[in-house]
Chains A and B, each alone.
Chain A
Amino acid sequence: MARIAIILVLVIASLTSCRQSIQTNQPVDGYQVSFEVDPATPIVGESRVVITILDESGNPVDNARVEIRGDMAHAGMVPVLATAEGRGSGHYDAAFEWTMAGDWVVMVSATLPDGRTIEREFPITVQSR
């Protein structure tokens, strides 16, 4: 039994160590990413989302590749994916469909012109129609 336990611990340790998401990425600090939804109180159905990115000095960041992923907080739902278009002055927007009422977690991933990546998470509650 003890042998099995030791093997188990070793397997878990080796699995964990090769887990890529656990490897620490170089964080991009100081950037501000804001996320707004139109309408401001999101309801089930189509909406427009606006992302604004500012650097450490508060200057707008253009020419980034901005991807949005919305997941419902519970399991078993297909996520909503979108790529935002740049509108200048650090603004990016995209059409976004909320497929169910309830709690969502929106992940915004922005790949900056210099190749670095920023990820920010936004909790959103969507109302039913």
Chain B
Amino acid sequence: MIQLQDISVQDRPELYQPPRRDVLRLPVIGRILKHRRGRLVFQVPLLLLALLLIYDGFTGPRLASQNLATVSVWVHYRGFVILALLLFGNLFCMGCPFTIPRTIALRLSRSGRRWPRVLRNKWLAVGFFVGFLFIYEWWDLWAVPAATAWLIIAYFVGAFALEVFFAESPFCKYVCPLGTFNFVASTASPTQITVRDHETCRTCPGKECVKGQPYVLGCGTELFPPTVRSNLDCILCLDCARACPYDNVALAIRTPGRELTDANAWPRRWDVSFLVMVFAFAAVSNAFGMVPPFYELQAGLAASFGIRSEAILLLLIFVTLNLALPGAAGLLAARLSQLLSGKREPMRVSFCRFAPAFIPVAFAIWLAHYGFHFATGALTLIPVMQNFLLDHGLSWLGTEPNWMLGPLVPGNWILPIQTIIVLAGFAGSLFVGRRIGERDYESPAAGIRAMLPWLVVFLGLALAALAMFNLPMEMRGTINMGG
């Protein structure tokens, strides 16, 4: 457990702004959120849903399009998550059902160890995030209900095991690929944890928000609210608000993405910045997996190198697109940025400076991709649910599934909407980059010169995404139903 002497509030009031609007002060919502069991209001329904998906994943139809597990997870979960991140914040982590057994695990882990120092960074998270995307393609998770059910079980087991062995929440902070996605994307969200009165925290003797109280847990990821400048690592569990004896924690409504231009919000660390770049390139590569050129590339690589194993081919593509390419593009842009601006500084600083500016364009590409699946398939849940109930002798939703239900919007609306989203994301990256340039360079001209190489990368990502969204979708790798 973190020690009291490890927590302090630095006397830098210039960094602190009291929240003007606080979700926790809203009449009904605020009371529910701050209630001792307030998180369970979100977690219990999601837990029941997870159990239902596991059940149907194993016993329901083998076809993904008829099974609750695959439809809910790969169409609805992803759509809702990205919309929630855009409109509110990290709601999925807030209601995460995988951490419900946390209390039991914490009891078992009283003598648990601290997470190894060498792993206290985002390198592991980068690995698990890319690994998750790789397994998604390799095992055709979207097409195999039982595999989706196993994935949900693996999440429960993984979260519980790490809580048992380590006396903190390393699963959320360092391992969980979904959490990693949500952490990075939530930096663009319009809410953030902060405190109402900075001085109250400075003089607080117990720091219960982090250490917890006998019946209320403290922050699982060990964030100290008065020092929070970013949503990175915040699972929005609100345990800090429940544990605070002074009711001093606030869930502030802020300008979306405000932290992206805040010099004090983000650490200039290789791992964090690289994670953001991977998040951006993975947005493109994940969409790339759905269009014909992806299969042509696979076939071309197989023919050129004589590789027959799909796993090796995918690994080659994923390592190149999700790790090598962002690394190379980031280093090259950082070096060119140094040369163009004439600023002498460590490569790490140049590499990290414009990393927050990746977020808007990356978020937009993920939104356009997941929004596509949601917009084209949201209503398929209705016949799947009807079929599920009828299969159990229940005709609550009708006596015949209406399989013709599917899209939310006409098909010809999708591409214009995607184009607007991606262009807005690119404009957002341009705005953030410009602000960073103005902030960190002695003249506006130097700031623009420093940003130019990064701008090329943002433009490349946006154009690649638009090119893919213009191509017809194609889904393969599933002909044997994952067998």
Contact = CB atoms under 8 A, between A and B. Distances in A.
Interface of A: 1, 8, 12, 15-16, 18-22, 44, 69, 71-79, 81, 100-103, 105, 123, 125, 128-129
A8 B406 CA distance: 33
Contacts of B478: 73-74, 102-103
Nearest to B373: A76
Contact of A103 (B75, B404, B476): B476
B479 A78 contact: no
Given A18-B392, A22-B59, A72 B380 contact: no
Given A100-B474, A100-B475, A103-B477, A74 B64 contact: yes
Contacts of A75: 64-65, 67, 70-71, 74-75, 142-143, 377, 380
Contacts of B65: 71-77, 79
A78 B376 CA distance: 9
Contacts of A105: 63, 481
Given A75-B142, A76-B75, A123-B480, 6 more contacts: A69-B403, A100-B472, A101-B473, A102-B475, A103-B143, A129-B472
B64 A78 contact: no
Given A15-B55, A75-B65, A105-B63, A20 B74 contact: no
B55 A12 contact: yes
Given A75-B142, A105-B63, A8 B475 contact: no
Given A8-B51, A18-B393, A74 B474 contact: no
B349 interface: no
B347 interface: no
24 contacts: A19-B391, A21-B61, A22-B59, A44-B472, A69-B403, A71-B63, A73-B64, A73-B65, A73-B140, A75-B64, A75-B74, A75-B380, A76-B75, A76-B377, A81-B403, A100-B473, A100-B475, A101-B472, A101-B473, A102-B478, A103-B478, A123-B481, A128-B292, A128-B474
Contacts of B405: 78
A129 B292 CA distance: 10
Pick the most buried of B65, B104, B405, B473: most chain A CB atoms within 10 A of its CB: B65
A77 B406 contact: yes
Nearest to B68: A75
A21 B393 CA distance: 10
Given A16-B59, A129-B472, A74 B392 contact: no
Nearest to A78: B406
A19 B392 contact: yes
Nearest to B69: A75
Pick the most buried of A100, A105, A123: most chain B CB atoms within 10 A of its CB: A105
* In the complex, the 10 A-B pairs of residues with the closest C-beta atoms, listed nearest first: A76-B377, A73-B478, A78-B406, A102-B475, A101-B474, A76-B75, A75-B70, A75-B71, A75-B64, A103-B479
B460 to A, nearest CB: 25
Nearest to B388: A19
B350 interface: no
A3 B74 CA distance: 33
Contacts of B71: 75-76
Contacts of A123: 479-481
B126 to A, nearest CB: 27
Given A74-B64, A74-B70, A102 B474 contact: yes
B429 interface: no
B292 A71 contact: no
A72 B406 CA distance: 13
Interface string B51-79: 10001000111011111001100110000
A76 B55 CA distance: 19
A20 B391 contact: yes
Contacts of B142: 74-75
A22 B70 CA distance: 19
Contacts of A79: 65, 403
Given A71-B63, A74-B143, A20 B403 contact: no
B370 to A, nearest CB: 11
Contacts of A100: 472-475
A26 to B, nearest CB: 19
B375 to A, nearest CB: 10
A128 B291 CA distance: 10
Interface string B454-483: 000000000000000000111111111100
Contacts of A8: 51
A123 B480 CA distance: 8
A69 B63 CA distance: 12
Contacts of B481: 73, 105, 123
Contacts of A103: 143, 475-479
A82 to B, nearest CB: 12
Pick the most buried of B376, B393, B478: most chain A CB atoms within 10 A of its CB: B478
Contacts of A74: 64-65, 70, 74, 142-143, 475, 478
A73 B392 CA distance: 24
